[in-house]
Amino acid sequence: MGLNQNATFDELLEELQHFADYELDCHLQSYTFLLKRNGKYVHDVLIRFEHVTEDWKKIQEVEDFPDLPHMRISHRDHVWTERQIELVAKRYKDDVEFGNYTPPRPGTLDKR
């Protein structure tokens, strides 16, 4: 049984609750799953896309890497419902904790 390719965002979030990371495409797997081998993290640093400039500077303090080129990033506006926030927080609990993310408030516009 796979994911419904025609699912709405809400339906997808509901469906994801029933799949383990190893059953999902890498785009839907939790990054904590992708970063662990034998239960241990294999990377020292996590660069979060929404904080790439700041996170990259921390790496440059340790390694002699060049600056990143300027990136034009398009954002998709999304107003989160309480149920969506709950489902994402449940499915990606380890990611939220590891990445130190703050969930959006219901009804607010998220421009990530």
The domains of the chain are located at: 9-110
pLDDT at 9 (0 to 100): 92
Q: Which pLDDT value is given to residue 111?
A: 60
Answer whether residue 89 shows pLDDT above 90: yes
Mean of the per-residue pLDDT values for the chain? 85
What span, in angstroms and rounded, lies between the C-alpha atoms of 76 and 31?
21
pTM score of the predicted model: 0.72
Q: How far apart are CA 91 and CA 20, in angstroms?
A: 9
Element (H, E) at 109: strand 109-110
Which residue carries 């965002």 as its tokens?
9
| Token pair in block for residue 3 | 């994911």
**Highest mean pLDDT out of 14-28, 30-44, 89-103:** 14-28
Spatial distance between the Cα atoms of 49 and 95, rounded to a whole number of angstroms: 13
Beta bridge partners of 40: 37
Rounded CA-CA distance 88/77 in Å is 17
Convert the pLDDT of each residue in 62-85 to its tens digit: 888 898 887 666 666 778 899 999
